[in-house]
Amino acid sequence: TEPFQNMGAQLLREAATKTNDNAGDGTTTAIVLAQSMIQKGFKFINSGAQSVLVKKGILKASQKVIEQILEKSKPISTQEEIANIATLSSGSKEIGEIIVSAINKVTKKGIISIGESKGLETELEVVEGMQYDKGYLSSIFVNKLTNMSVEFERTLILVTDHKINNINEINHLLEEVKAKSQPLLIIANSFDNDVINILALNKFHGILNIAATEAPGFGDNQKELLKDIAILTKANFISKDLDMQLQNIKIEDLGQFKKVII
């Protein structure tokens, strides 16, 4: 039964990951709902229901639930409304006020994340950064199970528009990174599946603290976004247009960033 148990665990993990990607919260709720739907689904199938019809029923019901939630939801806009919800959710007026201050500083388009303080005070810190809509390419890279995310500090970053077809293209670099004992994020145009599997195995066995994501955008837009990431992280952009080869990358070509969240 172990392969089937693993399949079920992967389904729940995928539900949590997608929820976190779309909403940034609610992973526990997603797992509870998914588990209930799976159990009830099997109950009906074992009673003679057709699996295709069960699936259609779940999708139809979920659409109805979404419509009801949207109908009953109330958009908020004023600082007072934001403060009330933040205070109620956190159970602290102080934290509620800090959240309002954070939203005012970074605007609604900014990213607000919560981290563990190294002191006794609750503080607000604003740092420059960027966000793009690409996630990790293997759930093995996850190191924060509470929200199914990858979080690195003092991260080395490889930025390239190459497709990484073979692990041998970057093996020499991985050895250098291993010696530095810092996490590595690889941002590339795309990856061969075997490359991702090998990187994931290295992470799983504790050989490398690593993650990989595909580059955002397409074509010329992708190149411009990668240039922006390279500038922000002080990396050398390993570009096909400049005939730069992956085999020739040195550790000095890598950028570095204070904190990375995927």
Inter-residue contact 160 to 188 (CB < 8 Å): yes
Count Cβ atoms within 10 A of the Cβ of residue 56 and give its class: 0-12 exposed, 13-18 middle, 19 or more buried.
exposed
pLDDT tens sequence across 207-253:
888 999 998 888 788 888 888 888 888 988 988 888 888 888 898 98
Rounded to 5°, the CA angle 247-252-258 comes to 120
pLDDT tens sequence across 76-123:
878 888 888 888 877 888 888 888 888 887 777 676 777 777 777 777
Q: Which two tokens stand for residue 236?
A: 């050398």
Q: What are phi and psi of 218, to 5 degrees?
A: -140, 150
Q: Which of 146, 147, 150 is nearest to 137 (CA)?
A: 150
Going by DSSP bridges, is the β-strand pair 151-159/255-261 parallel, antiparallel, or unpaired?
antiparallel
In CATH terms, 139-261 corresponds, of 3.20.20.70, 3.50.7.10, 3.40.50.10320, 3.40.190.10, to 3.50.7.10
The band of 8, judged by pLDDT with boundaries at 50, 70 and 90, is confident
Distance CA 60, CA 208 (A): 44
